């Protein structure tokens, strides 16, 4: 049986982050408030084994091969015909399947691991969870002295396939001591409408400027990003603590989820029950109605997202 191993990295400003080889998870992020008090702003667990037995399977994990929902687990184009196992209510293929990347023990890459970075690799064999081709994946997390977590993914398939990789960290800038009710969130994107099963329809709801999202009750919203110059793709803030998170990504879209399926079964790092609206997953990815992300054989898939942390009134 493989061991679950945490790796801690830090920067010169006292920010620290922890990562777990099980699921290549982002497990902890210590950020100061406006009084200088450092608190963890990610939902999760102290014990690595708790991730495996949790009700919410995706805390902080790298999601793949294909994040999000594929209706009926089916996809085909002129070169690919895919039928994937249905792991959500017998209707959809969700987040790469029951044994997706979140369930894998990733290898630590010594050449990419240092005081301020950690690297992981995974070899996914052909037809694993039904996907075509072998796949080599590399994930690098870097904590910069600008207080950014840079999340970088490179993946190369041996055959033409579908591929869409993200990170599923749940953020709570209060330090995870209260729910998201007193957070503020805005996104530079147009809403992608969804049906009752959270499948995208053909309707795109246009908006001007940044669109605010109320973080209450049920949030499972998708947005097509506008990509305005020098404008963050998304901003999460918590005025009481002064903490904020600005997100920049090379992906086309973002899926939001506030954990409304959580039932209070999971107890987090501070013994807090994880109920709906305790954390916000901000999942950069490829999202377009009825159009999955296709990658050719030997083509390098690249995902790069920057999570910029800060405190109001401070650099």
Among the options 28, 129, 152, 283, which is catalytic?
A: 283
Residue with tokens 């109605």: 289
By the 8 A CB rule, do 280 and 185 touch?
yes
283 is an active site residue:
yes
Among the options 102, 168, 238, 303, which is catalytic?
A: 168
* Sheet strand arrangement including 200-205: 170-171, 280-285, 253-257, 222-225, 189-194, 200-205
User: What's the per-residue H, E or C state across the chain?
Assistant: CCCCCEEEEECCCCCEEEEECECCEEEEEEEECCCCCEEECECCCCCHHHHHHCCCCCCCCEECCECCEEECCEEECCCCEEECCCCECCCEEECCCCCCHHHCECEECHHHCECCEEEEEEEECCCHHHCCCCEEEEEEEEECCCCEEEEEEEEEECCCEECECEECCEECCCCCCCCHHHCEEEECEEEEEECCCCCEEEEEECCCCCEECCCCCCCCCEEEECCCCCCCCEEEEECCCCEEEEEEECCCEEEEECCCCCCCCCECCCCCECCCCCCEEEEEECCCCCCCCEECCCCCEEEEEEEEEEECCCC
183 is an active site residue:
no
Q: Is the peptide bond before 108 cis (omega within 30 degrees of 0)?
A: no
Nearest to residue 4, comparing CAs of 20, 25, 17?
20
- Residues noted as catalytic: 168, 283
């Amino acid at each position: 049986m493989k061991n679950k191993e945490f790796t801690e990295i830090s920067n010169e400003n006292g920010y620290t982050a922890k990562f777990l080889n099980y699921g290549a998870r982002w497990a902890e992020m210590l950020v100061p408030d406006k009084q200088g008090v450092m608190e963890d702003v990610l939902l999760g667990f102290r014990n690595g084994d708790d991730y495996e037995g949790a009700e919410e399977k995706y805390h902080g994990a790298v999601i793949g091969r294909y994040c999000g929902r594929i209706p009926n687990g089916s996809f085909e184009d002129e070169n690919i015909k895919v039928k994937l196992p249905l792991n959500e209510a017998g209707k959809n293929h969700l987040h790469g399947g029951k044994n997706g990347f979140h369930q894998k023990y990733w290898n630590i890459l010594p050449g990419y691991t240092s005081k301020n970075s950690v690297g992981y690799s995974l070899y996914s064999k052909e037809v694993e969870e039904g996907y075509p081709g072998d796949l080599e994946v590399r994930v690098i997390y870097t904590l910069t002295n600008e207080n950014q977590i840079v999340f970088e993914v490179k993946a190369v398939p041996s055959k033409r396939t579908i591929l869409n990789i993200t990170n599923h960290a749940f953020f709570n800038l209060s330090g995870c001591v209260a729910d998201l009710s007193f957070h503020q969130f805005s996104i530079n994107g147009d809403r992608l409408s969804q049906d009752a099963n959270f499948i995208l329809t053909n309707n795109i709801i246009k908006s001007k400027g940044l669109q605010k999202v109320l973080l209450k009750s049920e949030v499972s919203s998708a947005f097509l990003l506008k990509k305005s110059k020098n404008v963050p793709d998304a901003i999460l803030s918590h005025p009481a603590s002064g903490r904020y998170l600005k997100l920049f990504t090379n992906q086309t879209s973002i899926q939001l989820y506030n954990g409304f399926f959580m039932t209070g079964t999971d107890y987090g790092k501070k013994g807090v029950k994880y109920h709906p609206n305790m954390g916000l997953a901000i999942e950069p990815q490829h999202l377009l109605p009825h159009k999955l992300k296709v990658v050719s054989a030997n083509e390098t898939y690249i995902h790069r997202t920057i999570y910029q942390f800060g405190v109001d009134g401070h650099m």
